[in-house]
Chains A and B, each alone.
Chain A
Amino acid sequence: MEKKTVIEAIGICKSFQGPTEVKVLSDVSFAIYSSEFVSVVGKSGCGKSTLLYILSTMDTNYEGDLMLDGVSMKNKKDAVLAKVRNEKIGFVFQFHYLINEFNNLRNVMLPALKMGKFTSEEIEAHAYAKLKMLGIEKEALKFPNQLSGGQKQRVAIARALINEPLIIMGDEPTGNLDKKNSDIVFDIFKELVETYKQSLLIVTHDLDFAAKTQRTITMEDGQLTHTIH
């Protein structure tokens, strides 16, 4: 069990300030290890998405601490967090969020171009490789609005993979897909974990999906209730 810790939440609390204070997360602590496939389930409004956005560093308004790759993300500047997201986290959302003005290949290349570690030729080759891995290299030069929902989601996964992140986070990545496409996406995730040793953290309310992952964290009223291995 001596695996490398990828991301660790330490006593994270968050509440929304409104007419009355609403506590969304209270004292959430857990860790995800490398090449682990974790799902978070819970009813709507239990705080699972909120937790994901805190873990993704996009939401910085919380108490407690977040360790990403052994480094605390607390009190970091916007530009530093942007760099962390760029290099260490890949995202897949319920909606694909591809940029319609760019073709699929460029959409995939975008985070890598931002990172600027490789030349654009190298990045293009990487992007092609990712698309090929996901079986959609034929669609590379099409534009996102020419693709089906399942294909778009696969392009979005390729985009999440392009910078070889520590962890991929998904917010209901299959929420908008039919059964067939959901299965395709799940198989891709599974392959990523098994073949490429990729860590995954997926928030979902699809219990079938969750049941097939290695570990399922269940949330209720802002707290972790139990974990199934």
Chain B
Amino acid sequence: MKFKLISQIAIALLTARLKQSLVAAFGVTFSITMFITLLSFMGGLNDMLDDLILNRTPHIRLYSEILPSPVQPIEQSIHNADAYHFVAHIKPKNELSSIRNSEAIMDALNQDNHVLGFAPKTALPIFYNLGTIHLSGILNGIDIDAESRLFSFQDYVIAGEPIDLKNTPNSLILGIGVANKMLVQIGDMVQITTSEGTPFNLKVVGIFQSGIEELDKVQSYTTIATTQKILGKPASYINDIQVKIFDINMAPALAKQYHTLFDTEAIDIQTANAQFETGSSVRTLISYAVGITLLIVAGFGIYNILNMMIYEKMDSIAILKATGFSGRDVNAIFITIALSIGLIGGALGLLFGLGLSAIIGEIPFNTPSLPTVTTYPINYNPKFYIIGAIFSIITTYLAGYFPSRKASQIDPVDIIRGK
């Protein structure tokens, strides 16, 4: 009953200054619209860039590397134990650059319930032979099924079918940079030479475009079996195991565990791509800062309109107080005005924000580096809408707080006698 009365008075005062109230509400609408659009767009962009790198990057990579012996004999000497030792005469051994005991490791990974999946890989440096010209490159032997499932490999094959890699013996999928240089198409044969000088002929079954030009100029893909055949190595010869786990945050801990367990090098995604997360979080921070600034500006608009309303409606406030409305009632009336401006403006802002981001999401956005993206990326995260709604209410409440307090402290005697 009492709330009904207060809201009726609030509505009467609002409609008395309908134009200004609408302008104030529009300020909130505009700022919430921009807030939602900005965050959705920035969120979409962040997700796209994350996908670009993170989805194609293993969470943990197991590999072997030629490294010097970590403990040199002289360090084990009991003399001068705390001195600095210069002599490092044990040089790296000529080892196979394959992961030792790879089959057992893969079995273990299959059993591990942290692991979503893994894709083994054998990479070897090669030359693409084009008449007398040799272009250096890297031939990756991959498990095409695992690679497609875990790292969306098929998305980046822009011509041909990835599955043909398995069905056609001695085939490869060529990076678009190399393919363009060599003027080859699907079905053509290309000749490659290994670093040891062994020539080999492979049939092109697909063209690959990763979006990272440097990669497309050198990389090409074939099956693991083909690389092992080119190298003349046994089936257990694997350079690299790319592991994807369920919880990406566990990657550093698991990497450390695998390093000791499997006796291989292990690097996690956080260490390998540290700069990436920083970029995402800074972009998000900037969009929040801009959005909240817009809201604060809208808050000043509401503050102004309420102040004006209080000066204009001084008489009404005085008579309300004279006829028995307490300061708290008057305060509630003006807070109600502020909040209804905020709620109406905010709700419209959320709708317009959704609309505007949907429109942006339809704008074509074609870039050769991102073959899977055809329109501007938009992230429709409900979190943005919740934050927008909460902030619109908080800022309008704060904007209404001081004028309302002033209205509640108006002394009716001053107004009535002032005439």
Which residues of A pack against B, CB within 8 Å? 49, 53, 56, 58-59, 78-79, 82-83, 85-87, 91, 93-95, 97-102, 110-111, 113-116, 159, 163, 171
Known contacts being A58-B413, A116-B1, A116-B2, is A85 close to B324, with CB within 8 Å?
Answer: yes
Min C-beta distance of A159 to chain B, whole Å: 7
Which of A85, A101, A163, A171 contacts B416 (CB under 8 A)? A171
Which residues of B pack against A, CB within 8 Å? 1-2, 5, 12-13, 15-16, 315-316, 318-329, 411-413, 416-417, 419
Cross-chain contact B412 with A58 (CB below 8 angstroms): yes
Known contacts being A100-B16, A101-B16, is A93 close to B416, with CB within 8 Å?
Answer: yes
A-B contact count (CB 8 A): 74
Q: Which of B13, B323, B327 has the most CB of A within 10 A?
A: B323
Which of B315, B316, B322, B329 contacts A91 (CB under 8 A)? B322
**Which residue of B is nearest A110, CB measured?**
B323
Question: Could you write out 18 A-B pairs with CB less than 8 Å apart?
Answer: A53-B413, A82-B324, A83-B326, A86-B323, A87-B324, A97-B315, A97-B319, A98-B319, A99-B320, A101-B12, A101-B13, A101-B15, A111-B323, A111-B324, A114-B323, A116-B1, A116-B5, A159-B323
How far is it, in angstroms, between the C-alpha of A93 and the C-alpha of B416 when the chains are bound?
A: 8
How far is it, in angstroms, between the C-alpha of A42 and the C-alpha of B356 when the chains are bound?
A: 69
Known contacts being A59-B413, A99-B316, A100-B16, is A114 close to B5, with CB within 8 Å?
Answer: yes
**Which residue of B is nearest A113, CB measured?**
B5
**Which residue of A is nearest B14, CB measured?**
A101
Cross-chain contact B326 with A79 (CB below 8 angstroms): yes
**Which residue of A is nearest B1, CB measured?**
A116
How far is it, in angstroms, between the C-alpha of A82 and the C-alpha of B326 when the chains are bound?
A: 5
Which of B316, B329, B412, B419 contacts A114 (CB under 8 A)? B329
User: B323 contacts which chain A residues (CB < 8 A)?
Assistant: 85-86, 91, 110-111, 114, 159
How far is it, in angstroms, between the C-alpha of A91 and the C-alpha of B329 when the chains are bound?
A: 19
Taking A78-B327, A83-B326, A110-B323 as given, write out 6 further A-B residue pairs in contact, using a Cβ cutoff of 8 Å, ordered by the A residue number: A58-B322, A79-B327, A85-B324, A93-B416, A99-B316, A111-B324
Known contacts being A97-B416, A114-B329, A116-B2, is A85 close to B13, with CB within 8 Å?
Answer: no
Which of A49, A98, A115 contacts B417 (CB under 8 A)? A49
Cross-chain contact B319 with A115 (CB below 8 angstroms): no
User: A79 contacts which chain B residues (CB < 8 A)?
Assistant: 326-328
Which of A97, A111, A159 contacts B318 (CB under 8 A)? A97
